[in-house]
Each structure stands twice: as structure tokens, then as C-alpha cells.
Amino acid sequence: MNIKFREVGHRTVQARAIVEIAEDIFINEITILKEDGEIVVELPQKSFKGKNGKIYKMDIITFKDENKKTLWLHNIKIEYEKWRKNNPKVLIYENS
């Protein structure tokens, strides 16, 4: 799996991933979050407003079954952890 990560570091968002899903075909906006100390991979969703005024969300990526989705998300998480080891966060604080 070919994945590139981009540092974000805004609130719970740690990074964004771009994944090559087929040769020369990429999916953007896979979000790496840190919630309650755990790394969570969030897939992109499309949101739209229904006729009744409610906001609905639809997954952009669909998997054959839940096991395949879980494995895919787990692989992204492992690759992120490897990337993070090689690219540690640098926190800069101002003394005021």
C-alpha cells in the first residue's frame, strides 16, 4: 500500500493521508485522529442535506465486508505509526 502523510496537528487531527488505491489512482482526505490517546483512522464522507432538512453522511469508500474495512484501516494506522517514528512532532513553545 502506497501512502503519503501530511502533518496537520490541529486539535485532534494529527495528519492527513493520501492512499494509492490502484496504479496512479489516489484517494485524499483520509484523516488520522488522536482521540483519548488512541490513533483513529477516519475515511472521507460526503455530507448532503435531505429534503427533510436533515444532514446525512455517506461513505465515499465502500468495502465488500467489515473485515476488509478493518484490515485496510489497520494497515493505514500501522503505516502512520512508522511514518510518525521517522517524522516526530516538533513542539515549539513561546515563553511569555
The per-residue pLDDT for range 59-89, each reduced to its tens digit, is 999 999 999 999 999 999 999 999 999 988 7
pLDDT score for 89: 77
Residue 53 has pLDDT above 90, yes or no: yes
State how far Cα 19 lies from the chain centre.
Answer: 10
Q: Report phi then psi at 12, rounded to 5.
A: -85, -15
- How far apart CA 76 and CA 29 sit, in angstroms, is 13
Tell me how many helices (H) and strands (E) the chain has. 1, 6
pLDDT score for 58: 93
Residue 77 parent element (H or E): helix 66-86
Domains of the chain with CATH codes: 2-86 (3.30.1120.40)
Q: What is the pTM (predicted TM-score) of this model?
A: 0.81
Q: Counting every residue, how long is the chain?
A: 96
Residue 90 has pLDDT above 80, yes or no: no
Where residue 91 falls among pLDDT bands split at 50, 70, 90? low
Residue 96 has pLDDT above 90, yes or no: no
Across residues 36-63, what is the average pLDDT?
94
Q: Report phi then psi at 91, rounded to 5.
A: -100, 130
